[in-house]
Amino acid sequence: MTMTSGVNELVLEVADLDAAERFYTEVLGFPVIERWEGGHWRNREAVWVLAGGTRIGLWKPALGIARARGGVHVHYALSVSDDEYDAVVERVRARGAQVDEVEFGPGNARSAYVADPDHNVVEFWTWDVKQGSPGAPSAISEGVFGV
């Protein structure tokens, strides 16, 4: 039995907080829900945005909880409905971001991948992960690496 209902929070270490905030708010359209600055936050500077039911922290480099530091990861995925997928991709492309698209299946699910200013890769995925595997990926966009 699963003890969780999903991802509540994700924190990314960013080199340029202003550039990261612009990307997540202007390109992806996520609203800012909180800011950390000053002594109350032990002088940590951070911006929190909301992606559906997941809050994403954009933090300047510093030691965090459990003495952790940011690290390199492959990507993270956010759920998007089939009905909303095309609009999400169009919004991101209209704001100048490179979008790589992949299909899983055949025809089971679609994903759009975009890199933020710190090269964290954000995926918008139409698959309900509770259904198991959607099948093998195949590139929709030309030049997609790693599929």
pLDDT digits (tens, 9 = 90+) for 52-106: 989 999 988 876 666 666 666 668 899 999 999 999 999 999 999 999 999 998 8
Q: What's the number of domains the chain is made of? A: 2
The CATH code of the domain that includes 37 is 3.10.180.10
* Residue 2 belongs to some domain of the structure: no
54 and 12, same domain (yes or no): yes
Tokens 């510093």 locate to: 62
The span from the CA of 118 to the CA of 28, in Å, is: 15
Identity (one letter) of the amino acid at 1?
A: M
**What is the maximum alpha-carbon separation in the chain?**
53
Residue 1 lies in a domain: no
DSSP type of residue 136: E
Three-state DSSP state, 110: strand
Which has the minimum average pLDDT: 44-53, 58-67, 129-138? 58-67
Torsional sign, CA 43, 44, 47, 48: negative
Q: Are residues 61 and 83 in the same domain?
A: no
Rounded CA-CA distance 77/75 in Å is: 7
**pLDDT score of 9 more than 90:** no
Give the range of the structural domain holding residue 45, as residue numbers without chain letter.
Answer: 7-66
User: Please, what is the average pLDDT of the chain?
Assistant: 87
DSSP 47-103: EEEEETTEEEEEE-S---GGG------S-EEEE--HHHHHHHHHHHHHTT---EEEE
Q: Are 137 and 84 part of one and the same domain?
A: yes
Q: Could you tell me the pLDDT band of residue 2, with boundaries at 50, 70 and 90?
A: low
pLDDT higher for 46 or 24? 24
pLDDT at 89: 96
Tell me, yes or no, if the pTM score tops 0.85: no
